[in-house]
Copies of this chain bind each other. A is one copy, B any other.
Amino acid sequence: MPRTDEQNRLIRDERREQIIRAALKVFARRGMASAKISDIASEAGFSHGLVYHYFKSKEEIFTTLIRRALENSAMLVQHAKRQAGTPMERLQWMTRVMLQNIESEGAYYFLIMIQAFTSDAVPEEVKQLLPEHFLSTLEATLPIIEEGQRAGQIAQGDSFQLAVCYYSLIQGLAVNRFQLNDAPLPDAETVLRIFSPGNSG
């Protein structure tokens, strides 16, 4: 008895997801250029030929992953902006979510994002996507920070710089997961200390 179209569609969607999931780990640990299609295929549990049935090329898989990462981080900031509470409470919420993500599979996304930014061995399409998306996500947090500054909850000074510091710390912590295997992540309060208006000169 042959499969129905609906069943085929389900298989297709599942295979694509399996490939994406496997590729995330393989790209993160081997790099876009030196990751082998056969690594991705065997991580997902099937032959390398099948990968090409679902994706045109290795580059297309990588680009799909980067798109997903950019969408997710943009969505997170939008959620944070619509959160209830003081600016600091919204930042706390966002920080907690990011730290939780890093504790699971999110750390891999940071690794491929760093590759996307720093590596020359990356599809041209990715290089074009990055600047605008990254900057606009960063800028989306500025209103929260500036509101906190007006309320005296956050240190005065260039809000863009503060956002860069904040994002850099999160990014550094994600990488650090691979440097110190079983060290627990700090809590959101410690991270948010970079916004502290405490003793600023």
Contact = CB atoms under 8 A, between A and B. Distances in A.
Given A197-B198, A198-B198, A175 B114 contact: yes
Given A31-B33, A164-B183, A186-B165, A117 B175 contact: yes
B31 A119 contact: yes
A117 to B, nearest CB: 5
A175 B31 contact: no
Contacts of A170: 172
Interface residues of A, number: 51
Contact of A172 (B29, B120, B169, B195): B169
Interface in A161-201: 161-162, 164-165, 167-173, 175-176, 178-180, 183-184, 186, 189-191, 193-201
A187 to B, nearest CB: 9
Contact of A164 (B180, B195, B196): B180
Contact of A114 (B29, B114, B199, B200): B114
